[in-house]
Amino acid sequence: MTRAEWLTWHGKGFKAVERLKQIHDMFGLVPEDSAHMALWWNLRGTYWYLESTVDT
C-alpha cells in the first residue's frame, strides 16, 4: 500500500494501479473476513479511480 501511494504521488499512476490490483486480487471477489471488508472496499475504490484517471 505504501509503495502504491508513493508511485501515485510521484507520477507513476500506471504502476500504482498494477500494484493495487495485485493487492485487491489477493482477497478474491469479496473477503470472507469482515475485518478486511473496509480495506477491500477502499482498495477497490482507489483502484477504479486511478485506473480511470491514469494516462496509459
Return d(Cα 6, Cα 29) in angstroms, integer.
Answer: 26
Q: Is the pLDDT score of 56 beyond 60?
A: no
Using only C-alpha atoms, the chain has a radius of gyration, in whole angstroms, of 11
For 21-32, how does the pLDDT look when each residue is reduced to its tens digit (9 = 90+)? 887 777 666 667
Q: Report the share of the chain in percent with pLDDT over 90.
A: 0
Q: Which amino acid is at 56?
A: T
Q: Which amino acid is at 25?
A: D
For 4-15, how does the pLDDT look when each residue is reduced to its tens digit (9 = 90+)? 778 777 888 788
Instruction: Tell which wins on pLDDT, 5 or 56.
Output: 5
